[in-house]
Amino acid sequence: MEKNTEAASDFPVQVIPTQILIGADGMPYTPSAEVASQIELAQYTYKDTGALAFTVHQGGLTQEQMRLILSDMGVQE
């Protein structure tokens, strides 16, 4: 972030680490109810359309939490 402040300025990075979750298809990640109930995520929308722009998690994730998110995104081990 310190080296690429211009690139980071488009995202709400307030702490390190911050994970910005976007699917492999480039579409914003929308967490399932199961994931949303277990992991604190913030969703950001475009002001003009209200469409989901991206989903963010701030702070560290455990390996189990990251696996849950990736599984929810359709990533297979």
Helix, coil or strand: residue 64: helix
Other Cβ atoms less than 10 A from the Cβ of 12: the count is 13
Closest to 20 in 3D by CA, of 1, 43, 47: 43
Enter the pTM of the model. Answer: 0.76
Task: Report the pLDDT averaged over residues 17-45.
Answer: 92
pLDDT value, residue 5: 65
Provide, rounded to the nearest whole percent, the portion of the chain with pLDDT above 90.
58
Checking if the pLDDT of 73 tops 80, the result is: yes
pLDDT value, residue 29: 94
- Listed by start position, the domains of the chain span 5-58+68-72
Q: Is the peptide bond before 17 cis (omega within 30 degrees of 0)?
A: yes
